[in-house]
Chain A
Amino acid sequence: MTDAAIARTTARPPAGEPSAWDQLKVNRNWLGFWFMVPAMAFLVLFLVYPLGKGLWMSFTDARIGREGRFVGLENFEWLLDDRDFIHALVFTLVFTFVASAVKFAIGLYLALLLNNNLPFKAFIRSVVLIPFIVPTVLSAVAFWWIFDTQFSVITWGLVKLGFIDRSSPINWMGDPFLTQCVVIFANIWRGIPFIAITLLAGLQTVSPSLYEAATLDGATKWQNFRYVTYPLLTPIIAVVMTFSVLFTFTDFQLIWAMTRGGPVNATHLMATLSYQRGILGGNLGEGAAIAISMVPFLLAAIMFSWFGLQRRKWQQGESND
C-alpha cells in the first residue's frame, strides 16, 4: 500500500496531486468546523442569541430585574400611539436622508478635489481622515462646546462679522430645530472623510487615458464626470453609501454625547429613545420593541442603496463577477 502511494506521488507533478487531496476531503468539513469554532462561539453567544432574545423581549413586558410576560404586539401598538416614538422615527428618517445625501455630495466633491495634482498630496489626504479616526464621542463633545448656547464661538464669529446682534445670541442647543441642524451637521462632519477617501480610492483606478480620449472627442468637464467617472464609480458608491446609511440610521453616540435627545425630545433617534426607555426607564420590553422596529427600515435602506445603485451596473452590461 505505502509503496504504491509513494510511487504515485513521485510519478505525478506535485501541483496536481490528487491522492493527498482525496485523503483530506474525508475530514475537511470537520477541520473547517474546528477552525470556525472561536468566531462562531462569539457570534452566536453575543450576536445571534441576543438578536433572537431582543425579538422575544419586544413581545414581552420585561422590566429591569423582572422576566417579561408575553404580551404579543402590545408594545408595538403602544408605540404607534406614542408621539415621542413617531417623532423619533420621523427624525431618524430625516436625519439619515439629509446627512447621507450631504455627506455623499461633499464627500464626492472632496474626493474629486483630492484627485487633482496637489502639492503635499499625501499630507492633505492623511489630515482629511482625522475626523474619522478620533472617537465620535470626543469630537461630539467638541461640537457640544462649539455650539454651546451661551458661549458658542460660532455666535461670536457671526457677531464679529456683523450678521447678528450681540444682544440676541443664537440658541443653538435650546431651539429644537437648530439643535436638529447641529446634530446633522456634526454627523456630516464626521462622515465626510470616510466617503471622500473611499471614493478617492475608486477614482484612482480610473485610467487617465479614458479622460484623454473623451476630451479629444470634445467632452466637457461635466460630460467627463457624467459619462466616464460616475459609471466607473457606481459599484464603490453603492457599497460606501450602504455603509453610510446603515451607520447613520443607527447612530447613537453622537446624539447621546451632544443632546441626550433633548431639547424636548427633538433630537431623539430611535437608538437613543430605545436606550432611554429600555435602560434608563427600565422598560426593557418597550426599549427592545423600539430597537426591533429599526430593522425593517434598516433593511429597506440597505436594499435601496444597494440595489438602487447596483442596478446601473447591470444595465450597462458589465459582468457581475
Chain B
Amino acid sequence: MTATAGTDPKTTAALAAIGRSTAKDDHSEGMSYLESLPRKTVTVYLPLFIIMIVLLFPFYWMFITSIKPDQDLLDLHGGNPLWVGEPTFRHFYKLLFESNYPTWLWNTMFVAVCATFLSIVASVLAAYAITRIRYRGAQTVGGLIFLAYLVPPSILFIPLSTIIHVYGLFDTPFALILTYPTILIPFCTWLLMGYFKTIPYELEECALIDGASRWQILVKIIIPLAVPGLISAFIFAFTLCWNEFIYALTFISSNPNKTVPTAIVSEFVDGDVFRWGSLMAGALVGSLPLVILYAFFVEHYVSAMTGAVKE
C-alpha cells in the first residue's frame, strides 16, 4: 500500500482534470494540431466509433427487444431484427402490473439504501479515527481494512450462509443489509480517508482548544467539509449494492424477498421457455435507476471509482 501512495496526488490531479474538462478544454493534447483531419479520422475517430458501438450495442438490443411484439422476437428471417415495426409496451406493462417486479425493485432499493447508510456511518467513524485520532495501531488497522476489500464474496458465501442461518436471518432483507457492509465499509473507509486528509488540521486544533469534543468536531467540522466525498461514497456503495448478486442468490429464497438481479435470472424462465421480452424489459428497468443516478453525478462517480485505486 505504501508503495503506491505516490499515485495519490497524481490521481487526485487527474480527477480534477477530468472534472474540469466538462467545463472547459484542457490542454493536455500538446501537439494534436500537427495531425491532419483525415489521418485523425482513421487513427482516432474510427476506432473510437467501433469501440463505442460494441460497448453500447447490448443496451440497444435490450431496448429493441423489450418493445418488440412476441412474434417478432423469434423471427430473425422476416424483417430486420435491429428495427421494430410495431413497438409495444406490453412487456413493460406485464412487468410492472402482472409480476412481482415492483416488489423486487423496492427490495433492492430498501436493501441498498439501508446497507449504504450503515456502511457510511461506520466508515466515517473509522476513517476519522484512522486519519485523525491516530491511536496506537491506526496504520495497521487501516491496512487491514484495505485487505478486507481484497477478500471476494465468492470465498465467503458458503460459511456466511450457515452463519446467516444460525443468526436467524435467512430469507430476510437483514441478511443482505448486514452482509453488504463488509464489501462497502473497506471501500468507503478508504475513499473517505483520502478526503479527510485534505481537510486542514488547523481547523480541528482550533476547535479542540475551544473545548470541542471529538464527536462535535466530526459532526460540525469534518462532515460538512467532506460532503463531496460522502456523495462519492454513497453513490458508489449504492451501485455496489444494486449490483450484488451472489449473497442475494444464496441468502434469499422466496420470490417476494428477491432483489432485481436474482429475480431476473430465475423468475422469467418457465422451464425451457425464456420470456425474452419481459427479461429484457426487466433488465432495462433494473438498470435505469443507476443510470439516472450516474447521469446526475458523473464526476462524483468517476472520482469514487478512481478513489478505489487511489492508494
What A residues does B257 contact at CB under 8 A? none
What A residues does B154 contact at CB under 8 A? 250-252, 270-271, 274, 291, 294
- Report the separation of the CA atoms of residues A129 and B56 in the bound assembly, to the nearest whole angstrom: 10
- Report the separation of the CA atoms of residues A251 and B245 in the bound assembly, to the nearest whole angstrom: 11
What B residues does A106 contact at CB under 8 A? 51
Q: Which residue of A lies closest to B40 (CB)?
A: A116
User: Could you say which of B6, B29, B150, B151 contacts A116, with CB atoms under 8 Å apart?
Assistant: B29
* Interface contact A39-B58, CB-CB below 8 Å: no
User: Could you say which of A17, A235, A250, A313 contacts B155, with CB atoms under 8 Å apart?
Assistant: A250
* Interface contact B158-A287, CB-CB below 8 Å: yes
* Interface contact A141-B3, CB-CB below 8 Å: no
Q: Which residue of B lies closest to A42 (CB)?
A: B181
* Interface contact B152-A247, CB-CB below 8 Å: yes
In the complex, what's the smallest C-beta–C-beta distance from A54 to chain B, in angstroms? Answer: 4
- Looking at B89-97, B202-210, B224-232, the stretch in contact with chain A turns out to be B202-210
What B residues does A256 contact at CB under 8 A? 245-246, 249, 265
What A residues does B118 contact at CB under 8 A? 42
- Write the B273-302 contact mask toward A (1 if CB under 8 angstroms, else 0): 010100110111011001100110010011
* Interface contact B152-A29, CB-CB below 8 Å: no
What A residues does B283 contact at CB under 8 A? 138-139, 141-142
User: Could you say which of B18, B31, B51 contacts A212, with CB atoms under 8 Å apart?
Assistant: B31
For residue B242, CB closer than 8 A to chain A, the reply is yes
* Interface contact B6-A156, CB-CB below 8 Å: no
For residue B76, CB closer than 8 A to chain A, the reply is yes
In the complex, what's the smallest C-beta–C-beta distance from B145 to chain A, in angstroms? Answer: 7
Known contacts A39-B185, A256-B265, A141 near B280 by CB under 8 Å: yes
* Interface contact A139-B209, CB-CB below 8 Å: no
* Interface contact B214-A31, CB-CB below 8 Å: yes
Determine chain B's interface SS by DSSP, over half rule.
helix
* Interface contact A15-B202, CB-CB below 8 Å: yes
- Looking at A77-85, A96-104, A120-128, the stretch in contact with chain B turns out to be A120-128
* Interface contact B280-A321, CB-CB below 8 Å: no
- Report the separation of the CA atoms of residues A31 and B125 in the bound assembly, to the nearest whole angstrom: 11
For residue A113, CB closer than 8 A to chain B, the reply is yes
Q: Report which B residues bind A (CB closer than 8 A).
A: 2-7, 10-11, 13-15, 17-18, 21-22, 25-32, 40, 44, 47-48, 51-52, 54-59, 61-62, 65, 73-74, 76-77, 81-82, 118-119, 121-123, 125-126, 128-129, 133-136, 138, 141, 145, 148, 150-163, 178-179, 181-182, 185-186, 189, 202, 205-206, 208-209, 214, 239, 242-243, 245-246, 249-250, 260-262, 264-265, 274, 276, 279-280, 282-284, 286-287, 290-291, 294-295, 298, 301-302, 305-306, 308-309
Q: 10 closest A-B pairs (Cβ-Cβ)?
A: A32-B135, A208-B30, A35-B129, A201-B14, A250-B152, A271-B154, A54-B159, A39-B126, A38-B122, A253-B245
27 A-B interface contacts by CB (under 8 A):
A32-B135, A35-B125, A38-B122, A39-B145, A42-B118, A42-B119, A42-B122, A50-B159, A54-B159, A113-B44, A129-B305, A134-B290, A135-B243, A137-B243, A137-B265, A143-B58, A148-B276, A189-B54, A192-B55, A201-B18, A201-B302, A201-B306, A211-B31, A246-B150, A275-B249, A275-B250, A320-B2
